[in-house]
Amino acid sequence: MGLIQNILAVIVVLGLLVTFHEFGHFWVARRCGVKVLRFSVGFGKPLWSRFDRHGTEFAVAAIPLGGYVKMLDEREAPVPAEQLDQAFNRKSVWQRIAIVSAGPLANFLLAIVAYWVLFVAGTSTVAPVVGQVQPGSPAAQAGLQQGHEITAVQEQPVRSWEDISLKLVAAIGASGELAFEARESAESTPRSYRIPVEDYLVRQNPPQPLASLGIVPWQPEFPAVLGQVVEGEAAASAGLQPGDEILSVNGEAVRDWMHFVNMVRGSAGETLTVDVSREGRRESVSLTPGRNVIEDGTEIGYIGAGVEPVSWPEEYRREIRYGPLEAVGQAISRTGDMTLLTLDAIRKMLVGLISPSNLSGPITIAQVAGDSARTGLEAFVSFLAYLSISLGVLNLLPIPVLDGGHLLYYFIEAVRGRPVSEQVQAIGLRIGLAMVGTLMLMALYFDLMRLW
């Protein structure tokens, strides 16, 4: 069932993103007088199609991993003399720039609309209260303590752990100090804390912004009660069921969920005797955790089970909501911040500050899309907005084959007064295909590594 949900979620996400992207090209092309031959969502043989009064074919194709807008163009096929004025290649360079850039801009517009909906409807989060500071850690050296609520990072206000993580990821590679502000209670005045760092998060895989500083977020105690059990994994094979309360492991009483998790992680391949409470009855099962090797080569145990959710106290809940007009500015600001963060992450990956293994391909996108859909509409819309921004940024990179590569040629043409030669464009096409193909293979490889 989870696999089907993941597939459906990624089809919905990619379908929306591709449709908006291609509609951007289509809409501006029509306004510039270019005849559009086909608007296709997906590649391959059309499963459904129809023609409008302008002769444009709208199609949904079999492979839902992209799409395209095919325009009248003398470079692709002969054009009747009476339609030459509608050919893409006959338009001015600035009109061609507008048509090509409209696709990525449509993705940014979609992200703004998605964030606007979230901000108007209101998003729920929890206060970024420190639950624990590891002794001797950078955060401990700076004086941060358990119970402090973080209010600003790098002199920018934050209202959630997500905000903090985004600010910290933007600081990858920093040396010196990270500026934090925190308060002891809701009534107290925030104080400044300077956390020392050296090559912060450089080549850490995966990056752990908070753990690297020694900060553990506060969370309510989670009783050792199973909320979900994954079919085919160790927990299900042992007969464990959702609702089971873990009482003891090999005779040792289990205090809470994390205590149980640590027992499992340290028992890869070992058979454990687990006592559980099920519907008021005490039962005993034999559980053998599977083996999983994490990034640093350490082997840990896993059983394929999750904890039953618990409610957060009201004083830790935060509701972020804006009026319709104020939400416009907030949505544009969030989109701009996420765009700059994405560009900065690409730069840091190119210079070696971020490991290429953080690249994500279709498998990871499907998993995250499915997880966010199961979590709720708020998480799904937020993921859709971020992925739309990523698609817009990726398409604007100056790589032949992508929209950014075409824009590079057109801007050169605008400066020189004549087009880039067909020979140069052909060479660029081969280089672009090689780059994009390599990038896709790398992303798929890292997807498979994460999956295994």
What's this model's pTM, rounded to 2 decimal places?
Answer: 0.80
Residues in CB range of 412: below 8 A, 6 or more apart: 420
The DSSP 8-state label assigned to residue 188 in this structure reads: S
CATH superfamily, domain at 130-217: PDZ domain (2.30.42.10)
Numbered ranges of CATH 2.30.42.10 in the chain: 130-217, 226-310
| Segments of the chain with pLDDT less than 70 | 1-3, 5, 293-297, 373-375, 450-452
Query: CA-CA distances (angstroms) from residue 366 to 9, 273, 380?
Result: 7, 36, 12
Q: In degrees, to the nearest 5, what angle opens at C-alpha 279 toward C-alphas 273 and 281?
A: 50
Give CA–CA dist 128/213, Å, rounded: 15
The pair of structure tokens assigned to 391 is 């698609």
Residue in this structure with the two tokens 């454990």, named with its chain if needed = 272
- Which residues share a beta bridge with 150? 182
Calculate the average pLDDT of the chain.
89
Tens-digit pLDDT profile for residues 371-421: 776 667 888 888 899 999 999 999 999 998 899 999 999 999 999 999 999
Give CA–CA dist 104/399, Å, rounded: 14
How confident is the model at residue 1, as a pLDDT? 46
Contact status, residue 234 vs residue 304, Cβ threshold 8 Å: yes
Give CA–CA dist 426/423, Å, rounded: 5
How confident is the model at residue 294, as a pLDDT? 62
Give CA–CA dist 362/440, Å, rounded: 9
Q: Give the SS3 label for residue 47.
A: strand
The pair of structure tokens assigned to 397 is 């990179």
| Continuous segment of H or E residues that includes residue 63 | strand 57-71
Can you state the angle between helices 324-350 and 93-121, rounded to 10 degrees?
A: 120
Give the chain's length: 452
Q: Is 22 a catalytic residue?
A: yes
Give CA–CA dist 93/418, Å, rounded: 10
How far apart are the two ends of the chain, measured CA to CA in Å? 20
Beta strands in 237-280 (DSSP E): 245-249, 252-253, 272-278
Give CA–CA dist 362/120, Å, rounded: 31
How confident is the model at residue 44, as a pLDDT? 86
How confident is the model at residue 4, as a pLDDT? 72
The pair of structure tokens assigned to 199 is 């090559």
Catalytic hit among 22, 76, 295, 422: 22
Nearest of 388, 385, 392, 397 to residue 347 by alpha carbon: 397
The DSSP 8-state label assigned to residue 256 in this structure reads: S
Give CA–CA dist 195/137, Å, rounded: 9
How confident is the model at residue 149, as a pLDDT? 93
Contact status, residue 263 vs residue 255, Cβ threshold 8 Å: no
Q: Give the SS3 label for residue 113.
A: helix
Residue in this structure with the two tokens 């990038």, named with its chain if needed = 439
Query: CA-CA distances (angstroms) from residue 393 to 104, 120, 248, 397, 406?
Result: 7, 26, 51, 7, 14
Q: Which CATH entry fits the domain spanning 226-310: 2.30.42.10, 1.10.1370.30, 3.40.47.10, 2.40.40.20?
A: 2.30.42.10
